[in-house]
Amino acid sequence: MDATRTGPMALAERRLAWLEQRQRVLAQNIANADTPGYQPRDATPFARVLAGAQPELARTSPRHLDTPGGSRTKRDRAAETAPDGNAVSLDREALKVAETDQAHALALSLHRRWAAMFRTALGRNG
């Protein structure tokens, strides 16, 4: 049994991968802050990913088929929309980026501590 692929190690790695995906989505939102009609997106909440719930596909055109599952992002319900239809709020996106960065630091710290404990248990200090 590979202890690094179960329990806390695997969970921390899944969380880190999810946080990386979320940062990419948020960066795309920021990059499109001046794109007319752009609607911000966010990653499916990590709790839903862990629960195995299938996220809904984002329909960006009325001609798209309405099928369940497959997409890892969802539209972010914006409170305000610019006259050109853009709903990206740089303040809101900056807060989400900071929140994601803090969560990434925590998950990475937990991963490192678990790996250090595992090395200690094996007698490999260092």
In tens, the pLDDT along 5-35 reads: 667 788 888 999 999 999 999 999 999 999 9
pLDDT of the residue at 63: 67
pLDDT higher than 70, residue 105: yes
Global pTM exceeds 0.85: no
Domain ranges of the chain: 3-121
Question: Helix/strand/coil (H, E, C) string of the chain?
Answer: CCHHHCHHHHHHHHHHHHHHHHHHHHHHHHHCCCCCCCCCEEECCHHHHHHCCCCECCCCCCCCCCCECCCCEEECCCCCCCCCCCCCCHHHHHHHHHHHHHHHHHHHHHHHHHHHHHHHHCCCCC
Chain-wide mean pLDDT for the chain? 81
pLDDT higher than 60, residue 50: yes
